[in-house]
Amino acid sequence: MSSNSYRGGPASRCKSKKKKKKRGGAMKKMTTEQGAAFRSVTEWAFLGSQSSFPSSVDAAASFVVDEIGIQKSLGRGGQRLVFELHCHSKFSDGSFSPSKLVERAHSNGVKVLALTDHDTLEGIPQAVEAARRFNIKIIPGVEISTIFTSRSEPLWEEPVHILAYYSSCGPSRFEDLDKLLSDIRKGRFFRARSMVEKLNKLKLPVKWESVARIAGEGVAPGRLHVALAMVEAGLVENQKQAFDRYLFDGGPAYSTGREPSSEETIQLVHDTGGVSVLAHPWVLKNPTTIIRSLKEAGLHGLEVYRSNGCLSAYSDLADTYDLLKLGGSDFHGRGHCESELGSVNLPVIALHDFLQVARPIWCGAIRGSLESYANDPSDMNLARITRFGRIQAPKRGLDDISREEDLIKCCMNSWLTVDERQNVNIEAIQSKYSVISIH
């Protein structure tokens, strides 16, 4: 997120790093349950990969965990299975290109990376391409800007960000999600211009041209870009001062965009084969009310882990409403008091629980895309399958694959386990391809 990094919360990011040093506690070997969870997660994380990560059986035996189940590798140079589920690139308000972000993730030991730019999936193909060089698995993701409106108090509105995670082939009904995101981005231009106008009325001569240049070509500007333009013009000392004085929610230069409702967005994520997770609930003014309502709308999870550990209040809320417990660094690459990429350690069981919910949803989306192509083998339907597809043929390159059914088979081998391929009923789908080939 861009602006809310500066809003309240139980602790600042600088304080979080100090707290991290205090963490510790007794180490112990994985339990039987944790070992089984680790093997399942590892199988999925390295599906279709040529990674040198140790076999899941050997790896589980070589790990210990702390008191809440965080992996701690034994020995010097030991690897851990690190998931990074929340980060941003230049396609929204991050500082790095997707390829540089993936490279940094690799340097930090990340094995699974979800790129979650604000209101756009445009950076995913570049991230997938870069990930091939480092044997990193990419989860196509997006952080969607929404507005929550209270049913009992219609005048009470609050910005809410929803993280959506998709399968390797991306959203089903892609056009529906793309339209929603496009409308939000158009609203961000309107919102940024409105903020500039309000600042000008406050006798702060910020230029729209500066905001657009800082955001970059094709990038919908946000509050961060307005703040950077203010710093550049010498109107404030730093970004934090810009937010604290002018750009905070309800501040003198704050403006709303054209965000959809939180509940409708969660429904669309569900309809397009995604997993929905509430981002940074600690910035919300009334998290309990919002979480309860979003759970009723179909919310799957809640961010409760940060680089300084688990936030017990939000972990308790996740338990109360039976939500997944997740978290990510929210890395932007700004270099000042923000969590590093891959610094949020998720317990083995939390990763397993996430995939237990996500994988059936993703398999259903993949099956739907494959069946659509089998019923109508058009270029458009093929493009829907391979839009974000990281496809690795085992013995020959993609250029040598002459038949579409071979291409689809490579997709399935890279995206689905043996059990999942059986559940998707691959044989029935492949039989349709055979009929297509005959005719």
Residue 352 lies in a domain: no
Last residue of a domain, one of 324, 346, 368: 346
Q: Percent of the chain at pLDDT above 70?
A: 79
Mean pLDDT of the chain: 83
pLDDT at residue 6 in the model: 35
Beta strand extents in 44-129 (DSSP E only): 63-65, 71-73, 82-84, 110-115
Last residue of a domain, one of 218, 247, 276: 247
Q: What is the pTM of this model?
A: 0.83
419, with CB counted inside 10 A (0-12, 13-18, 19+), is exposed
Pairing of strands 324-327, 301-306: parallel
Q: How would residue 387 be classed by pLDDT, with cut points 50, 70 and 90?
A: confident
CATH number at residue 231: 1.10.150.650
Q: Which of 297, 317, 346 is the last residue of a domain?
A: 346
Does a structural domain hold residue 256? no
Q: Is residue 433 part of a domain?
A: yes
Question: pLDDT band at 64, cuts 50/70/90?
Answer: low
| Residue 178 included in any domain | no
Q: Which two tokens stand for residue 258?
A: 């054209």
164 and 191 part of one domain? no
At 246 the pLDDT is 94
Are 279 and 323 in the same domain? yes
Based on the fold, state whether residues 334 and 295 are members of the same structural domain.
Answer: yes
Q: Please give the Cα distance from 96 to 102 (Å, whole number).
A: 9
The residue assigned the tokens 């839009």 is 387
Q: Is the pLDDT of residue 265 over 50?
A: yes
Pair (122, 157) in one structural domain: yes
206 vs 54, higher pLDDT? 206
DSSP run (H or E) holding 197: helix 174-201
For the segment 48-63, the average pLDDT, to the nearest whole number, is: 57
CA distances from 418 to 5, 177, 413, 423, 434 (A): 42, 30, 8, 9, 21
376 vs 409, higher pLDDT? 376
Average pLDDT over residues 265-294: 96
Judgement on whether residues 165 and 192 belong to the same structural domain of the protein: no
pLDDT score of 12: 32
Q: Are residues 137 and 163 in the same domain?
A: yes
* Residue-wise pLDDT tens digits, 140-183: 999 999 999 887 776 678 889 999 999 998 999 899 999 999 99
Q: How many domains does the chain have?
A: 3
- Domain assignment present for residue 351? The answer is no
| 46 and 160 housed in the same domain | yes
Q: What is the pLDDT of residue 399?
A: 45
Q: Which long-range contacts (CB under 8 A, 24 or more apart) does 127-134 make?
A: 127/89, 127/98, 127/99, 127/101, 127/102, 128/388, 128/389, 128/390, 129/99, 130/98, 130/99, 130/102, 130/103, 131/102, 131/390, 132/390, 132/392, 134/102, 134/103, 134/105, 134/106
Helices and strands counted in the chain (H then E): 17, 11
Confidence of residue 250 (pLDDT cuts 50, 70, 90): confident
Identify whether 39 is part of a domain: yes
Q: Please indicate, yes or no, whether residues 75 and 25 belong to a single structural domain of this protein.
A: yes
Domain containing 229: what range? 183-247
User: Tell me, what amino acid is at 245?
Assistant: R
Does any domain span residue 280?
yes
Which pLDDT value is given to residue 418? 81
Task: Mark whether 63 and 135 lie in a shared domain.
Answer: yes
For 66-100, how does the pLDDT look when each residue is reduced to its tens digit (9 = 90+)? 666 676 654 444 568 899 999 999 999 899 999 99
Assigned domain for 364 exists: yes
Instruction: Kindly tell me the sign of the dihedral angle through the C-alpha atoms of 78, 315, 150, 243.
Output: negative
Place of tokens 């969660």: 266
One domain for residues 59 and 158: yes
Q: What average pLDDT does this structure show over 378-406?
A: 63
Residue 16 has pLDDT above 70, yes or no: no
Whole-angstrom distance, CA of residue 201 vs CA of residue 197: 6
- CATH code, 138: 3.20.20.140
Structure confidence at residue 303 (pLDDT): 98
Stretch (H or E) spanning 265: helix 262-271
**136 shares a domain with 112:** yes
pLDDT in tens, 174-218: 999 999 999 999 988 888 999 999 999 999 999 999 999 998 887
Domain shared by 240 and 274, yes or no: no
Q: How far apart are CA 143 and CA 119, in angstroms?
A: 6
Q: What is the mean pLDDT of residues 266-291?
A: 96
